[in-house]
């Protein structure tokens, strides 16, 4: 769920400015949800296997509301934790594909998604307003911008 503060503007977070912390670098991250008696919800295990992803280190569901910007709150989002070097090697298009694949699965279970590195930096997020039909979803990726060598 998204809880925007009453505002005339669309919720925005500027990821190209100094990063907002997802967690402290020395934080002990929770484990992904796992049930031995029933399917785990959300089931990112299958998505992780299907996409044979080497970028993601772990994932978990926040148990609290997260503030991404002064007017954007996410209720219990899924947090994907990625390897910084492998994430950066993906460049923008690879990062977008990564976020979109996992966001599609998360969205099907009614969750929003954020991507952080092991150092706790917010790298990307995908959120949907589940109160509207059709869904209004947005993706934001922290980008260092395209460089000339990216086109060679």
Tell me what pLDDT residue 7 has.
41
Residue 59: the pLDDT is 87
Dihedral sign, CA of 56, 61, 62, 65? positive
Alpha helices in the chain, H assignment, sequence order: 44-50, 84-89, 91-108
- pLDDT tens, 60-77? 888 888 887 777 888 878
SS3 66: strand
Nearest Cα to Cα of residue 12 among 76, 99, 72:
72
Tens of pLDDT, residues 91-143: 899 999 999 999 998 998 889 999 999 888 999 999 998 888 898 899 999 87
């Amino acid at each position: 769920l998204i809880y925007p503060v009453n505002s005339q503007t669309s919720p925005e977070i500027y990821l190209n400015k100094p990063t907002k912390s997802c967690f402290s670098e020395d934080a002990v991250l929770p484990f992904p949800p796992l049930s031995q008696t029933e399917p785990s919800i959300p089931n990112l295990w299958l998505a992780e296997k299907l996409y044979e992803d080497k970028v993601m280190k772990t994932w978990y569901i926040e148990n609290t509301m997260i503030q991404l910007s002064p007017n954007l709150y996410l209720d219990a989002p899924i947090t994907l934790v990625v390897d910084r070097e492998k994430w950066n090697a993906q460049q923008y298009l690879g990062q977008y594909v990564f976020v979109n694949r996992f966001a599609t699965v998360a969205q099907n279970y009614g969750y929003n998604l954020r991507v952080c590195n092991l150092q706790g930096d917010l790298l990307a997020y995908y959120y949907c307003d589940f109160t509207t039909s059709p869904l209004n979803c947005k993706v934001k990726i922290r980008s260092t911008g395209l460089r000339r060598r990216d086109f060679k």
